[in-house]
Structure 1
């Protein structure tokens, strides 16, 4: 048994194999640990993560309460938290029997009553206040919390694609997505009216419906307390990197949608810090659209317009260009 570090909460960790001498904060250790020291305790840190159980993946069947789902090969992920106390699973699924509903399944298995399951339950409660995405199933037992939300399908009954997949198929027509992303801004604005901010937007988490409207796949980080370092990657807003006196909120969604538009227009996400104007990268972008994107990428959150303002500018560009509506239809 290993004790916590001085000044921190004590924890009990699992050590497999012979252990000789005092061991502190060993973490989850698999294999032999030999500590030879005669006079004082030795501090051993082994930040290893145990192998993930591979019971979840494309083609797997997952039982949730009285229902069973078949896992697709889209966005399938199974991973442990950094402290190996929580196992996360997510992926697109089809319900087996009774209509074959397509859904987005997220499941959290906590060793104790951890934050992962509580956050998923809190998102379920938030979804009850809005109208999209629809909850297909919510189930919670002693250790596992599962939330399945609806995934749009096209007229032929096939799952609609996420924005990253569709853009890869039509990389030469970025303006055609302005109407879809205007609809996304409408959806986000409705959540903002309820005091809910997504804070985790990226192309893979935006689904384009068969009618051409883009919708968020889920509520992102809305049920998680805001913190510096959240949503790492290309579309992290400055306040999520700690570069603002104001923390993440609805203004973060504005920056993230603009970041996605910047990627579509220029082929690259905006630079960190004060980004270069869009037309420095791509002079052919219509001036009204470039100006709107630049405004929404302001480093200081109060300097950004709200998400509905941005949606109106995207819709105006769409109406002027007369591009065909994108959709998930192949």
Structure 2
């Protein structure tokens, strides 16, 4: 069977994954003779071009803007974008990226949880990637183990920033499904607030919780039940986090303003990674939810 070739250069070899945001393929660059990852970012609603052509054009433009911003980043823990295939108004762009061959963090965690020290080292790498993206105005919005790839030497690479463009350009329920991962999205974003870089830090905290505990504390049987749990239920104290526990408590507070800034967070993670952080006492708990304004009499 003849293989599909994109832009007369990238030969699709096999599908690596995909979802509401598009498909990812292993591909062969026939010009440079190397393997690459190819992704077409698409809205979850396949009929968007017909019923909302203006929105579809804006989505394409936004994807291109954010892809170009990411392509300018030269960061060891952000996936490298080599090339953008822009087909204009006739289709959505294809992103040509480095192929990271070591598997995902999600696959790694299927073999068991991480130690607090290893999780803290991983957290610093992901944090540095987020900080670099935030510095050019891009929030990730879908930090989760499946979007952290691992190189053969163990170093991590944060990928799949495409949701940043798609989530703001389409309805969350365009096809009756939720865009993003409900168990990792921050409470304020579930509430419809765009959030800021601190919202990505909630997601990072939840990722690290899962990495050391081996389970998600708020995942429920359905998407709606999970969203309700993230919004309303306390995060149970971790049992395996050790010195990482207080860091998780700072991150998994529902008040974005109470989460640490990136500099403070990096120092906290560094102290856990090098073993200098003290072990927490009993009674760990995440920070309190945001205070509601006092009721005003009419």
Instruction: Please list, as runs of the form range in 1=range in 2, the aligned pairs for 1:175-186 lying within 5 A after superposition.
Output: 175=116, 176-186=118-128
The alignment partner of 1:148 has SS state of strand
TM (normalized to structure 2)?
Answer: 0.70
Are residues 198 and 292 of structure 1, via their aligned partners in 2, closer, same or farther at CA, if it must alter by over 3 Å? same
Higher share in helix: 2
Q: Please tell me whether Structure 1 or Structure 2 has the larger radius of gyration of its CA atoms.
A: 1
> Secondary structure, in 3 states, of the residue corresponding to 1:105?
strand
Q: Paired residue for 2:190?
A: 241
SS in 1 for 2:4: strand
Find the partner of 1:195 among 119, 137, 156: 137
Residue 121 of structure 1, CA deviation: 1.6
Change (3 A) 1:128 1:233: same
The alignment status of 1:121 with 2:64, answered yes or no, reads: yes
Task: From the superposition, tell whether residues 235 and 219 of structure 1 become closer, same or farther in structure 2 (CA, over 3 Å).
Answer: same
RMSD of the alignment, in Å?
2.9
Q: CA deviation at 1:127?
A: 1.7
* 3-state DSSP of counterpart to 1:120: helix
* 1:75 to 2:17 alignment: yes
* Residue 91 (str. 1) matches residue 24 (str. 2): yes
- The aligned counterpart of 2:254 is 299
Residue 319 of structure 1 and its aligned partner are, at CA, apart by 2.2
DSSP 3-state at the match of 1:320: coil
Mapped to 2, the partners of 1:61 and 1:257 lie a distance apart of 38
Pairwise CA distance, 1:293: 0.6
Per-residue CA deviations over 1:308-327 (Å, capped at 9, x if unaligned) read: 43333233322229xxxxxx
Any unmatched runs of 5+ in structure 1?
A: 1-58, 80-87, 154-158, 322-330
The equivalent residue for 1:49 is: none
Structure with the larger RCO, 1 or 2 (CA within 8 Å, 6+ apart): 2
Task: Tell me whether 1:134 sits opposite 2:89 in the alignment.
Answer: no
**Distance (Å, rounded) in 2 between the aligned partners of 1:96 and 1:128:** 18
| Residue in structure 2 matched with residue 101 of structure 1 by the alignment | 35
Q: Is the alpha carbon distance of 1:60 and 1:267 closer, same or farther for their aligned partners in structure 2, counting shifts above 3 Å?
A: farther
